[in-house]
């Protein structure tokens, strides 16, 4: 998950360097929107089963929720 996101961000940077703005924004959209949705759903799941909320929320803000 982390490697896929990092690869998409590198690819987006390559598109920006090449001057291809449309592909850059599409790559960012398809990389970051699923990240946000996964983190949001995991926050709701952890809210129901976990009592250590500040640590879990911090990990989700750092996009490390799936690793927990």
Q: Residue 47 sits in which domain range? A: 1-64
Looking from the CA of 24 toward its CB, the CA atoms found within 13 Å total: 11
Number of compact structural domains in the chain: 1
Q: What is the pLDDT of residues 35-63, one digit of tens each?
A: 778 777 777 776 655 666 676 666 666 66
* pLDDT grade for 32, boundaries at 50, 70 and 90: confident
Q: Name the pTM for this structure.
A: 0.60
CA torsion 15→20→25→27, rounded to 10°? -40
């Amino acid at each position: 998950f982390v490697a896929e996101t990092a690869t998409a961000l590198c690819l987006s940077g390559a598109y920006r360097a090449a001057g291809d703005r449309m592909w850059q924004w599409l790559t960012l959209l398809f990389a970051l929107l699923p990240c946000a949705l996964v983190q949001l759903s995991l926050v709701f799941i952890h809210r129901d089963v976990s009592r250590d909320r500040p640590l879990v929320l911090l990990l989700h803000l750092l996009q490390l929720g799936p690793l927990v």
